[in-house]
Amino acid sequence: MTAAIPRMIAKRAGLGLLTLFAVSLIIFSVVELLPGDFAQAVLGQSATPETVAAIRRDLGLDKSALARYLGWIGGILQGDFGRSLSNQSPVAELIGKRFGHTLFLALYAAAMAVPAALVLGIATALWRNTFFDRAANMTALTAVSFPEFFTGYVLLLWLSIKLGWFPSLSSISDSTPLPEKLYKCFLPALTLTLVVTAHMMRMTRASIINLLASPYIEMAKLKGIPPALVIVRHALPNAVAPIVNVIAINLAYLIVGVVVVEAVFVYPGLGQLMVDSVSRRDVPVVQATALIFAAVYVCLNLAADVIAIVANPRLLHPK
């Protein structure tokens, strides 16, 4: 088993790199299809064919799409994401400032969502087909049905505008104290929590209920072990693999799916940077942020596979 796990990690990492290569092609192609022209947008009404051509030449926009893609991907392999077209700042520097804020928001939401999902999943499995189970599932389905921006605006309306408990804008900086950060970021974190908790809770519930019909669970019940202890001691460890996978996928969503939530709350994260860059047609920043989101998603899925196999080595040899 010790030799099989490194082989599996190497295989999944190779597939991840191939996935990122394919994603980079898609990102570059989609960004190329964005309407408008950066040089024309900068010059505005004073643009002339000569000045537009000069700006495009200075920024390398006059090169072919293939040459620009090869230059972009070659720079990334060397750790250079290029420079922003709007202010000529290094893209890596712009992303570095925002990525920390996005990571903080994702971890804040995960700290609320994961324990809540596990507790609710275990409780609904323990008391399945009761009023509590039906109410929890109905609430979860309702939370999943609403898009993030709708949930965010509802929370803004009630908790910020009507009740005045939290600020409507989550404006923070690197120097903001942690208690103030937690207070200002509560609404966007709660929005993300409501969206992802339902998925994790339902997967936890389904995994545990599926195991409760196993012979060793029936034997534990016949020995007189309390139902709650049967779930926690016997069912939950064997349900780790699917639960870990769904948690990892939702954690990836917390990072890559923050674009809408950050735009709603004007949160200074990577998603807001991407939205602003799209409106300015700042191609290098849009491409870099999209590729980082994809890389985070691939890495978290790889981590989920590894954790699931360590928890359940039988997955290395599926029948």
CA distances from 118 to 94, 190, 242 (A): 36, 17, 12
Q: How many structural domains is the chain composed of?
A: 2
Indicate which CATH number applies to the domain containing 286: 1.10.3720.10
Looking at 46-50, 160-164, 183-187, 267-271, which range is the least confident one? Answer: 46-50
Torsion of CA 247, 252, 255, 258, to 10 degrees: -80
Same domain? For 127 and 228 the reply is yes
Residue 146 lies in a domain: yes
Task: Name the pTM for this structure.
Answer: 0.80
CB atoms within 10 A of CB 123: 19
Same domain? For 218 and 268 the reply is yes
pLDDT of residue 186: 92
Give the 3-state secondary structure of the chain.
CCCHHHHHHHHHHHHHHHHHHHHHHHHHHHHHCCCCCHHHHHHHHHCCHHHHHHHHHHHCCCCCHHHHHHHHHHHHHCCCCCECCCCCCEHHHHHHHHHHHHHHHHHHHHHHHHHHHHHHHHHHHHCCCCHHHHHHHHHHHHHHHCCHHHHHHHHHHHHHHHCCCCCCCCCCCCCCCHHHHHHHCHHHHHHHHHHHHHHHHHHHHHHHHHHHCCHHHHHHHHCCCCHHHHHHHHHHHHCHHHHHHHHHHHHHHHHHCHHHHHHHHCCCCHHHHHHHHHHHCCHHHHHHHHHHHHHHHHHHHHHHHHHHHHHCHHHHCCC
pLDDT of residue 40: 65
Residue 305, pLDDT above cutoff 80: no
Same domain? For 272 and 209 the reply is yes
pLDDT of residue 136: 86
Same domain? For 97 and 35 the reply is no
Looking at 40-49, 82-91, 152-161, 269-278, which range is the least confident one? Answer: 40-49
Same domain? For 53 and 96 the reply is no
Residue 319, pLDDT above cutoff 60: no
Torsion of CA 223, 228, 231, 233, to 10 degrees: -70
Q: How does pLDDT run across 94-126, given as a tens digit for each residue?
A: 888 888 888 888 889 988 988 888 888 888 887
Residue 180, pLDDT above cutoff 60: yes
> Which residues constitute the domain of residue 21?
4-77
Residue 310 lies in a domain: yes
